[in-house]
């Protein structure tokens, strides 16, 4: 686990302090893991660190080589996925085609510009 944390911190250019803030795991605990002083952290600590890096727990502890980012879905996203999975191939292709049309139109994209978030005076 120590090696994976080091690798992920380097890849994501994340400091121990930032990892602590994101994961809500105390800096001292993370430093103990990184130094090898603690080689068997609690499950809740490992889960919090994996979540902070957006990887699976299996990847973090070395049981898998596939980081498979963890994607948390909102309730409406789960319902949409459930509907999609209930369709046959033709239905799924139609849904996919419809989504492509909506995306390519640009009409429904969220506006993340700074201007759109300014308060109106």
Q: What is the pLDDT along the chain (121 residues), one digit of tens a residue?
A: 999 999 999 999 999 999 999 999 999 999 999 999 998 899 999 999 999 998 999 999 999 888 876 677 899 999 999 999 999 999 999 999 999 999 999 898 877 654 544 444 3
Q: What pLDDT does residue 110 have?
A: 79
Question: What is the architecture of the domain spanning 2-60?
Answer: Orthogonal Bundle (1.10)
CA distances from 118 to 9, 81, 84, 85, 114 (A): 33, 34, 37, 39, 7
CA distances from 8 to 30, 52, 57 (A): 13, 10, 13
pTM of the complete model: 0.59
The domain locations on the chain are: 2-60, 75-105
Q: What pLDDT does residue 80 have?
A: 94
Nearest to 35, CA basis, from 5, 72, 74, 66: 5
Q: What pLDDT does residue 117 have?
A: 43
């Amino acid at each position: 686990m120590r090696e994976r944390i080091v690798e992920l911190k380097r890849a994501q250019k994340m400091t121990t302090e930032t990892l602590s803030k994101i994961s809500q795991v105390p800096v001292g605990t993370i430093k103990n893991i990184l130094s090898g002083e603690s080689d068997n952290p609690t499950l809740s600590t490992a889960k919090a660190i994996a979540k902070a890096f957006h990887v699976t727990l299996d990847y973090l502890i070395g049981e898998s080589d596939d980081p498979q980012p963890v994607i948390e879905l909102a309730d409406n996203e789960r319902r949409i996925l459930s509907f999609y999975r209930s369709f046959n191939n033709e239905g799924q292709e139609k849904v996919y085609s419809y989504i492509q049309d909506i995306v390519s139109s640009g009409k429904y994209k969220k506006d993340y510009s700074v201007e759109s978030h300014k308060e109106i005076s």
